[in-house]
Structure 1
Amino acid sequence: MFLMKDIVRDGDPVLRQQAQQVSFPLSDEDRKLADDLMEYLIVSQDPELCKKYQLRAGVGLAAPQVGVSKMMASVLVPAENEDDKPVFKDVIINPVIVSSSVQRGALTEGEGCLSVDKDVPGYVPRAARITLKYQDVDGNEHKIRLKNYPAIVCQHEIDHLHGSLFYDHINKEDPFHRTGDEIFIY
């Protein structure tokens, strides 16, 4: 299981690299990586286990964040009610955003990242809706539409696969600039 000591921090060159495509069928090493990425999210979202292992809770974790420059990320957006199934849960491999809305969305509290230890205030404008194409661990292709928070989480993780970090999107002159057209997600 990955621990916080395994998470690559801002400044490490792997976070700024273009990740490599993953080939199928997955190697044993890649399958273990996929399992470990998702396990981190599951454990980090359990308050008792999160505390026990001294983790920071996360909803997404990309392979470059654990030092592996491959096009793979786990995403686990929990349900609003504990008894419901997650809003989105999968390991997305070789993901591509095939379309995105013109309307922008941003989290009111800004974004955070397991690889960025400091708080970077500001709005991170992203597409409010996306159509995402990816492969799962078995090589099955998926094409799904996501909106609001799950769309933002997936865009954040896909950025990691292309060497971008969330704060790259923040307006440097006016971090809390609003155009009036965007949706703010709480």
Structure 2
Amino acid sequence: MLLSSAKFKAEYTITMDDIVREGASVLRTAAEPVPIPLQAEDQEALQCMMQFLKNSQDPEVAVKYKLRSGVGLSANQIGLQKRMFVMYLRDEKGNMVEHAWVNPKVISHSVAMIYLPESEGCLSVDRPVHGFVPRYESVKVKGYNMTGKEVVMKFKGYQAIVVQHEIDHLDGIMFYDRINEENPFKLPQGVEIRSLYEQKSR
């Protein structure tokens, strides 16, 4: 079911009841570009989404609202068919960082790939999914931030995985679409690929 951003005012608390689950058509439909400059309702929706991630990672708040922990959330996961997503996670230095992306586009990426050995998870998927999800080790993304300013940033490692997971959502792609159907633990051939947690050989 498609919703209007107007529902997600800044003071609105997103809970798991607002999260669209797999099988819904909005998760399989490419999201629409967001008009720039951002309208107030889109900015507030992004603020709501970011607060959900922060709440989900706060043990006390997560228990209160029965939230699953998340590091990324796309607009279509709350029923908004708009090209925007948020991230709240640690950077390479271990600091918590938050990113809000509007109309994001990967403009370049590494040849080398990585994957999470425990597979990926998704707030819209309530069942365990096993298998390797190959991702580019680094990506450069161009888009707009919450204030409507154009931004270009490069992400590596875990952050790059999250960015690609969320942009996939905006293109109607689920993470498990990238798992090899015949052998879930088979990795792409002819490309350098390693587990995220393996040290690069020097």
**TM-score of the superposed pair, with normalisation by structure 1:** 0.94
Q: Report the aligned-residue RMSD.
A: 1.5
**Alignment match, 1:167:** 176
Aligned match of 1:138 in 147, 156, 159? 147
Higher Cα radius of gyration: 2
Question: How far did residue 85 of structure 1 move?
Answer: 3.0
Q: Give the whole-Å Cα distance in 2 for the aligned partners of 1:141 and 1:85.
A: 23
Q: Give the whole-Å Cα distance in 2 for the aligned partners of 1:45 and 1:140.
A: 28
**Alignment match, 1:24:** 36
Q: Secondary structure at the match of 1:39?
A: helix
Question: How far did residue 79 of structure 1 move?
Answer: 5.1
**Alignment match, 1:91:** 100
**Alignment match, 1:14:** 26
Q: Give the whole-Å Cα distance in 1 for the aligned partners of 2:76 and 2:141.
A: 20
Aligned match of 1:177 in 168, 175, 186? 186
Q: Give the whole-Å Cα distance in 2 for the aligned partners of 1:111 and 1:158.
A: 14
Residue identity opposite 1:163 in structure 2: G
Quick check: 1:128–1:183 contact (8 Å CA) kept in 2?
no
Per-residue deviation, residues 75-122 of structure 1 (Å, max 9, x unmatched): 1112588xx632x41111100000011111100100010001111100
**Alignment match, 1:154:** 163
Aligned match of 2:68 in 53, 56, 59? 56
Aligned length: 183
Name structure 1 gaps, 5 residues minimum. Answer: none
Q: Does the alignment pair 1:46 with 2:46?
A: no
Question: How far did residue 25 of structure 1 move?
Answer: 2.2
Residue identity opposite 2:177 in structure 1: D
Q: Give the whole-Å Cα distance in 1 for the aligned partners of 2:149 and 2:92.
A: 28
Q: Give the whole-Å Cα distance in 1 for the aligned partners of 2:28 and 2:110.
A: 26
Residue identity opposite 1:177 in structure 2: K
**TM-score of the superposed pair, with normalisation by structure 2:** 0.86
Q: Give the whole-Å Cα distance in 1 for the aligned partners of 2:119 and 2:131.
A: 6
Q: Give the whole-Å Cα distance in 2 for the aligned partners of 1:131 and 1:46.
A: 30
Q: Secondary structure at the match of 1:151?
A: helix
